[in-house]
Structure 1
Amino acid sequence: MTEPQPPPKWNDRLVDTLRSRGTLLFLAGLLAGWLVFADHAREGPLLVTLHNDSDVLIESVWLDFSHALSQSSLYEGRLQPGERRRIALNHPPGAGFNMKVSYADGESLEFCANRGVSGRRQEVRLYR
């Protein structure tokens, strides 16, 4: 007479489950579903390069922008003539942003920049 076999241990059952064809197909289906349906577009900041294309020092640049339920302001100081500076905004491309530019000679400009411009890398050329 043969002795009864002891029940398999939990770790043996786990290994058997992981080796089964059903588990392999289930994991392959999860991977395929993630590849097809997940949003893989990485959203990052809107990178804006300011160019001082005038021959006058820019004392300050104020940027005001908002979307959804948030509103932000950003201050950039002193851009020398010919200088450029890259800034990062938490703002969707194409929505535009308000700018106030103050020059060293007392003149200032206010305008909405880059409304309708797509892409996460944008430029604003400041000249008079």
Structure 2
Amino acid sequence: MSKNPEEHDPRELSDRVIDFLRAPATLLFLVGLVVGGLAMHLFTEPEVPEGMLLVTVHNDTDEMIEAIHFNFSHGQSLTEMREGRIRPGERRDVALNHPPAAGFNMEVRYADGEEQAFCANRGVEGRRQEVRLYR
């Protein structure tokens, strides 16, 4: 009995799909997609949204930071926020609703009672900034 060329055996199609999935080139392609996706995630930083300033605070001291008080104003708004404990050697990202280069006030209180107060990053451009705390 001859088969019509337009008719396909469903088992033949599934065999082709299985053969395709078993092919070394397919496996390498899928591994490449996974590795590429992980590399993109690990080595690229997400964009900081407009109007936000992302500040990474580094505790470069040997003392626990008990609290950091941020105080900044822009236009008609005044904003105050607090960040809790930061261990020695630790860093923390803090998102501020503040334009770059405008600067912001920081009051840092250490576990031993010492305090620091200063204006940070006035004139520093960019939506990702750092503040390194040391004594």
Q: What's the RMSD between the two structures over aligned residues?
A: 0.9
* C-alpha displacement of 1:54: 0.2
Task: Tell me, yes or no, if the aligned pair for 2:51 and 2:98 is still in contact at 8 Å.
Answer: no
| Structure 2 alignment gaps of length 5 or more | 1-48
2:17 paired with 1:48: no
Question: Could you state the TM-score of these two structures normalised by the residue count of structure 1?
Answer: 0.66
2:74 paired with 1:67: yes
Q: Which residue of 2 aligns with 1:89?
A: 96
Deviation sequence 1:6-60 (CA, Å, 0-9, x none): xxxxxxxxxxxxxxxxxxxxxxxxxxxxxxxxxxxx6241000000000000000
Question: Residues of 2 paired with 1:49 and 1:111: CA distance?
Answer: 16
2:118 paired with 1:111: yes
* C-alpha displacement of 1:77: 0.7
Please give the secondary structure, in 2, of the residue aligned with 1:85: strand
Which AA in structure 1 matches 2:132? R
What percentage of residue pairs aligned between the two structures are identical? 67
* C-alpha displacement of 1:66: 0.5
Q: 1:11-50, aligned counterparts within 5 Å?
A: 43-50=50-57
* C-alpha displacement of 1:83: 0.5
Which AA in structure 1 matches 2:93? R
* C-alpha displacement of 1:61: 0.2
The number of residue pairs the alignment matches comes to 87
Please give the secondary structure, in 1, of the residue aligned with 2:85: strand
| Structure 1 alignment gaps of length 5 or more | 1-41
Aligned partner of 2:127 among 85, 107, 120: 120
